[in-house]
């Protein structure tokens, strides 16, 4: 049975869908609430090392992004600046981030989870 770490915030609608999908499968899931437990630059760099991209991780469509000033948005154009913004404001991270067997998946859709876990369940 694969071990899964799911990073998000509990009240996110997409997160709720991901958790429901995971609950239907034989998986050992650890939930990391990054608003309460935080995220570090090292954690985000780890996701990037596993194949996530900054364009995927940084949620430029959400309310938190829209509330940023121009200077903060400009900061996000540089990799170190984008990571620093996500650490300071975890709501800027697209949800959820799933890590399993040295691979990372950002966001949720039924099809993407089925493909990701094919052969693992």
8 A C-beta contact, residue 78 and residue 107: no
Count of the separate structural domains present in the chain: 1
Question: Cis (ω within 30 of 0) for the bond into 36?
Answer: no
Domain that holds residue 21: 3-117
pLDDT by residue (tens digit) across 7-46? 999 999 999 999 999 999 989 999 999 989 999 999 999 9
- The residues carrying an active-site annotation are 12
pTM higher than 0.85: yes
Question: Domain containing 40 — which CATH number?
Answer: 3.40.30.10
Lookup: tokens for 23: 């609950």
**pLDDT over 90 at 120, yes or no:** no
């Amino acid at each position: 049975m694969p071990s899964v770490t799911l990073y998000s915030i509990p009240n996110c609608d997409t997160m709720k869908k991901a958790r429901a999908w995971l609950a239907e499968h034989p998986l050992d899931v650890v939930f990391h609430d990054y608003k309460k437990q935080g995220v570090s630059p090292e954690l985000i760099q780890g996701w990037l090392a596993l194949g996530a991209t900054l364009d995927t991780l940084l949620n430029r469509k959400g309310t938190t992004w829209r509330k940023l000033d121009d200077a903060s948005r400009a900061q996000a154009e540089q990799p170190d600046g984008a990571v620093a913004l996500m650490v300071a404001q975890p709501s800027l991270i697209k949800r959820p981030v799933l890590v399993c067997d040295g691979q990372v998946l950002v966001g949720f859709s039924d099809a993407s989870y089925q493909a990701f876990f094919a052969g693992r369940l």
